[in-house]
Amino acid sequence: MPLKPTNAEAEYFAREEAIKLRKLAQKSCREMNAEEQEKLKKLHYLHCPKCGMEMNTIQINAVEIDKCFACGGLYFDDGELEKVAGRASSFFQVMEEVLGK
């Protein structure tokens, strides 16, 4: 009978994978020249990462958040989720570890 990973094991590997993906993205960003970065920013700025429609900026708890009214998605800039939700216990500790604060 195949062994099923425990939740702790699955979470560990998911974290390791996220950390690896973060490092790859940071490396890719460092290697991209400024002209390419500006071109990508112009192309994608305030467009929904899920459906591609234009997003709108709304204010919640004095924090401006990008909202896609086409698909309902929300986009939080770095640190905005913590400001809106408050600093919950383990959730943000895990997020900081994975996302690298």
Binding site for Zn ion (CB under 5 A): 48, 50-51, 53, 68, 70-71, 73
**Cβ neighbour number for residue 18 with a 10 Å cutoff:** 16
Give 24 or 46: the residue with its C-beta nearer to Zn ion.
Answer: 46
Q: For residue 28, give both structure tokens.
A: 């890719």
- To the nearest whole angstrom, how small is the minimum distance from the Cβ of residue 33 to Zn ion? 29
Query: Is residue 66 helix, strand or coil?
Result: strand
- To the nearest whole angstrom, how small is the minimum distance from the Cβ of residue 55 to Zn ion? 7
Q: For residue 42, give both structure tokens.
A: 């112009």
CB 53 within 8 A of CB 47: yes
Give 5 or 72: the residue with its C-beta nearer to Zn ion.
Answer: 72
CA-to-CA distance for 81 and 79, rounded, in angstroms?
Answer: 6
- To the nearest whole angstrom, how small is the minimum distance from the Cβ of residue 62 to Zn ion? 24
Give 72 or 79: the residue with its C-beta nearer to Zn ion.
Answer: 72
Query: Is residue 51 helix, strand or coil?
Result: coil
- To the nearest whole angstrom, how small is the minimum distance from the Cβ of residue 36 to Zn ion? 25
Give 58 or 71: the residue with its C-beta nearer to Zn ion.
Answer: 71
